[in-house]
C-alpha cells in the first residue's frame, strides 16, 4: 500500500519541485540583476521589474505590521500538507494531479520567499495602454494555472456525471 501511494505521489511531487526550482532560480536572477523598483521594458506590453510584496495576491495585507508574514507562511504550510494528502489519495487523476502539483509548487515557492526575505519577490509586469496588472512571479503563475485546471477538472467531472 505504501509503495502504491508513493508511486502515485512521486510524479506530482516532482512537478511541484520543478516549479519551486524554476521559481527560485528566476527570483534569484531578478535579485541579482535589479535593484528594488528597477524596470526593464521587454515588449510594448511586458516589463521585468523588481517588486517586493509583503502581502498576498494583489498585495492584500501588504501594509499590515508584519504579522502577515507568519500568517501566510502558516497558511502556505497548511495548504501544502492538505495538497499532499489529496495527491496521495487521488494521484491517479491526471488533471486534478497537475492542478494540485502546480498549486503546491507555487505555494511552497512563495513560502520560501517569505522565510528567506520576509516578502515575495515579484518581477513579471504586464500592461497595456496605461493599465498595469499587478506584478507576479513563476509561483503565482503556477498557482493560477493550477486553479484554472481545478476548475476545468470539476467542470469535466460534472459533465461526465450527467
Q: Is 92 exposed, middle or buried (0-12, 13-18, 19+ CB in 10 A)?
A: exposed
Q: 113 an active-site residue?
A: no
Q: 38 an active-site residue?
A: no
Contact between residue 3 and residue 86 where contact means Cβ atoms under 8 Å apart = no
Tell me the pairing of strands 131-132 and 120-128.
antiparallel
Cell, residue 149:
485546471
Q: What is the DSSP string of 131-145?
A: EEPPPB-HHHHHHHH
Residue 15's nearest CA partner among 140, 110, 156, 146 is 146
- Angle between helical axes of 2-33 and 138-161 (0-180°, round to 10): 140
Q: Active-site residue among 23, 113, 140, 153?
A: 140
What are the catalytic residues?
A: 122, 140
Amino acid at each position: 500500500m505504501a509503495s502504491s501511494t508513493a508511486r502515485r505521489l512521486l510524479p506530482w511531487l516532482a512537478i511541484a519541485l520543478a516549479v519551486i526550482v524554476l521559481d527560485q532560480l528566476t527570483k534569484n536572477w531578478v535579485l541579482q540583476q535589479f535593484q528594488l523598483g528597477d524596470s526593464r521594458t521587454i515588449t510594448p506590453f511586458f516589463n521585468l521589474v523588481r517588486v517586493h510584496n509583503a502581502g498576498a495576491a494583489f498585495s492584500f495585507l501588504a501594509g499590515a505590521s508584519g504579522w502577515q508574514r507568519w500568517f501566510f507562511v502558516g497558511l502556505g504550510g497548511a495548504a501544502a500538507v492538505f495538497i499532499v494528502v489529496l495527491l496521495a489519495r487521488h494521484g491517479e487523476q491526471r488533471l486534478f494531479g497537475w492542478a494540485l502539483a502546480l498549486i503546491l509548487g507555487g505555494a511552497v515557492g512563495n513560502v520560501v520567499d517569505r522565510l528567506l526575505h520576509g516578502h515575495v519577490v515579484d518581477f513579471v509586469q504586464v500592461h497595456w495602454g496605461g493599465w498595469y496588472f499587478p506584478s507576479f512571479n513563476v509561483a503565482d503563475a503556477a498557482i493560477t494555472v493550477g486553479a484554472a485546471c481545478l476548475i476545468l477538472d470539476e467542470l469535466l467531472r460534472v459533465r461526465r456525471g450527467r
